[in-house]
């Protein structure tokens, strides 16, 4: 079946599912394959649960006309997403970066939705499957779509950019993330910059952080860009007023108080402000959007529990974000501070060096407790207690409960350190 023919079916059945356990009635099920499953085998079940059609790529699973046979289900989904994006009148904004993508996306959505009918990537559906699914959430009345793009190797952002064909783009930063897949920090810069390369090749518009020397270099001479800076020599001056612990900023005489801890969150809020101004949203609505955004899903959350003030940033971690979180926590007022740090993944040959560097930063901080969890930290030389597994740490914490003070919890997704909340 051609993309256009499939598109006509999609227009009548715009609810898309790739999980047979989560079927929307009268929608379309795409039978994707994975290393340990074959979606074709669940196509019949999806139809029985209410799907109108199932897109498959193995003919022996086709039982009637409700089974749409294509050469490759993933390819069909991707082509459909791009085709729909090209038919839509919505403005598409794409963003990527090593740290802060999801928080930035949510802030941008919070601001732009004050004036425009806006959709944004749901959760972290930001890969070769998530991007087309996000594009297919664009409706006829959607005015702006904010599409997040994640990557852990070269050419991935290039591919996702070709899928989304954004009108505008932004890179949050270039940090020590996915070093194993990208091949070091220079590889990260090259890989993330593929978004700017795509935008510039199409003469599309770029948003940028004029205080980031890498972005200054990458965008030198490119005219179609709008930036923010704490200095005056940029399109929009946005002042950082402090973070004690929550970030405050000032633009055109208006102070904005975020619900985000740490100076590292300043650029995330600033770009949302810049986009609001660019899209001609009144400053009072920009302020409202930023100030009503409450972080969740284990990202930059501040929680109060049993006399403890908990800084929960356990969705993910890499050396850059870990260092920034520790520096922000160090500047947070208060006594009786504890850090609970989990392993950082996908660092390849740099893993031992990077974990030791983080342990050394924690060593130099005035902390009451330092807890390190995971195999990499267990091999490092630390000041504090270290545990090879979360189970070992859990046993220790039950015997030595924290009763007062502030606690920073941060680690890679695989460590799932949010489980610590149950122990506090």
Per CATH, 88-291 and 301-423 having the same topology is answered no
Average pLDDT over residues 12-28: 95
pLDDT above 80 for 322: yes
Question: 């390190």: which residue's tokens?
Answer: 372
16 Cα distance to chain centroid: 22
Average pLDDT over residues 288-301: 93
pLDDT at 299: 86
Question: 């806006």: which residue's tokens?
Answer: 118
Strand positions, DSSP E, 269-400: 301-305, 308-313, 337-342, 369-373, 385-387
Average pLDDT over residues 374-393: 97
Which range among 157-166, 175-184, 222-231, 364-373 shows the weakest confidence by mean pLDDT? Answer: 175-184
For 87-107, the pLDDT digits (tens) are 999 999 999 998 899 999 999
Asked whether 329 and 408 are in contact (CB, 8 A), the reply is yes
Three-class secondary structure of residue 242 per DSSP: strand
Band (237; pLDDT cuts 50, 70, 90): very high
Number of CB atoms found within 10 A of residue 221's CB? 5
CA 234/CA 232 separation, integer angstroms = 6
Band (69; pLDDT cuts 50, 70, 90): very high
Q: Could you tell me where the DSSP H helices lie in 307-374?
A: 319-331, 351-363
When the candidates are 3.40.710.10, 3.30.450.90, 3.40.1190.10, 1.10.730.10, the CATH number that belongs to 88-291 is: 3.40.1190.10
Q: Which residues contact 39 (CB under 8 A, 6 or more apart)?
A: 18, 20, 30, 31, 32, 33, 56, 73
Distances (CA, A) of 229 to 144, 219, 235, 410: 25, 15, 8, 29
Asked whether 346 and 179 are in contact (CB, 8 A), the reply is yes
pLDDT at 109: 98
The β-bridge relationship of strands 144-148 and 118-120 is parallel
Question: 């995971």: which residue's tokens?
Answer: 374
pLDDT at 234: 76
pLDDT at 282: 98
Q: What percent of the chain has pLDDT over 90?
A: 88
pLDDT at 420: 97
Average pLDDT over residues 316-339: 93
Using the CB atoms, write b or e for 108-118: b if 16+ within 10 Å. bbbbbbbbeeb
What do you get for the CA distance between the two ends of the chain, in Å?
Answer: 55
pTM (two decimals): 0.91
Average pLDDT over residues 344-364: 96
pLDDT above 80 for 254: yes
pLDDT above 80 for 181: no
The phi and psi torsions of 221 (rounded to 5 degrees) equal 85, -10
Number of CB atoms found within 10 A of residue 281's CB? 20
Band (296; pLDDT cuts 50, 70, 90): confident
Average pLDDT over residues 193-205: 97
Name the residue among 57, 65, 68, 53 with its Cα closest to residue 15. 53
Six token digits for residue 307: 């006399």
Band (256; pLDDT cuts 50, 70, 90): very high
Average pLDDT over residues 315-319: 92
pLDDT above 90 for 264: yes
Question: 């790739």: which residue's tokens?
Answer: 18
What does the chain come to in residues? 424
pLDDT at 124: 81
Mapped to the 3 state alphabet, what secondary structure does 172-211 carry?
A: CCCCCCCHHHHCCHHHHHHHHCHHHHHHHHCCCEEEEECC
Band (153; pLDDT cuts 50, 70, 90): confident
Mean pLDDT of the chain: 95
Name the residue among 21, 92, 93, 82 with its Cα closest to residue 51. 21
Average pLDDT over residues 306-328: 93
Band (175; pLDDT cuts 50, 70, 90): confident
Name the residue among 48, 16, 24 with its Cα closest to residue 138. 16
pLDDT above 90 for 231: no
CA 386/CA 379 separation, integer angstroms = 9
Structural domain boundaries of the chain?
3-77, 88-291, 301-423
The reply to whether CATH 3.40.1390.10 applies to domain 3-77 is yes
CA angle 257, 255, 332 (to 5 degrees): 40
144 upstream amide cis, omega within 30 of 0: no
DSSP notation for 112-153: HTTTS-EEE--TT--STTHHHHHHTT--TT--EEEEE---SS
Q: Which residues contact 82 (CB under 8 A, 6 or more apart)?
A: 132, 135, 162, 163, 164, 165
Which range among 128-137, 139-148, 172-181 shows the weakest confidence by mean pLDDT? Answer: 172-181
Distances (CA, A) of 132 to 16, 83, 136, 292: 10, 10, 6, 29
Superfamily covering domain 301-423:
Mur ligase, C-terminal domain (3.90.190.20)
Band (123; pLDDT cuts 50, 70, 90): confident
CA angle 184, 260, 382 (to 5 degrees): 50
């Amino acid at each position: 079946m051609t993309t256009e023919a499939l598109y006509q079916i999609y227009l009548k059945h715009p609810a898309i599912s790739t999980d047979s356990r989560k079927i929307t009635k009268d929608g379309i099920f795409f039978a994707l394959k994975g290393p340990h499953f074959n979606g074709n085998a669940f196509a019949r079940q999806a139809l029985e649960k209410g799907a109108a059609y199932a897109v498959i790529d193995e003919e022996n699973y086709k039982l009637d006309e409700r089974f749409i046979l294509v050469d490759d289900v993933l390819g069909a989904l991707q082509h459909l997403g791009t085709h729909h994006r090209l038919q839509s009148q919505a403005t598409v904004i794409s963003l990527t970066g090593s740290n802060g993508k999801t928080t930035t996306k949510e802030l941008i959505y919070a601001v732009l939705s004050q004036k425009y009918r806006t959709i944004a990537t749901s959760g972290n559906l930001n890969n070769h499957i998530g991007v087309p699914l996000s594009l297919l959430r664009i409706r006829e009345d959607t005015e702006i779509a904010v599409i997040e793009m994640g990557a852990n190797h070269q050419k991935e952002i290039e591919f996702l950019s070709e899928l989304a064909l954004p009108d505008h783009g932004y890179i949050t930063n270039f940090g020590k993330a996915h070093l194993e897949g990208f091949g070091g920090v220079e590889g990260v810069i090259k890989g993330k910059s593929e978004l700017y390369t795509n935008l510039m090749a199409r003469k599309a518009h770029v948003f940028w952080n004029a205080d980031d020397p890498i972005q200054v270099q990458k965008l030198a001479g490119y005219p179609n860009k709008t930036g923010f800076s704490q200095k005056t020599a940029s399109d929009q001056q946005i002042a950082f007023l402090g973070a004690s612990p929550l970030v405050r900023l000032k633009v055109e005489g208006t102070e904005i108080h975020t619900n985000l801890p740490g100076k590292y969150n300043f650029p995330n809020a600033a770009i949302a402000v810049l986009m609001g101004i660019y899209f001609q949203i009144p400053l009072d609505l920009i302020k409202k959007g930023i100030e009503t955004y409450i972080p969740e899903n284990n990202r930059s959350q501040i929680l109060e529990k049993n006399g403890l003030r908990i800084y929960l940033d356990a969705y993910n971690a890499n050396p850059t974000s870990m260092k920034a979180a520790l520096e922000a926590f160090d500047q947070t007022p208060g006594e009786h501070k504890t850090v609970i740090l989990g392993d950082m993944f996908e660092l390849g040959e740099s893993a031992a060096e990077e974990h030791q560097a983080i342990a050394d930063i924690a060593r130099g901080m005035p902390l009451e407790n330092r807890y390190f969890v995971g195999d990499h930290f267990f091999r490092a030389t630390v000041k504090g207690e270290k545990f090879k597994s979360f189970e070992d740490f859990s046993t220790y914490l039950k015997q030595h409960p924290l009763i007062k003070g502030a606690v920073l919890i941060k680690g890679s997704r695989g460590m799932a350190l949010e489980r610590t909340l149950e122990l506090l």
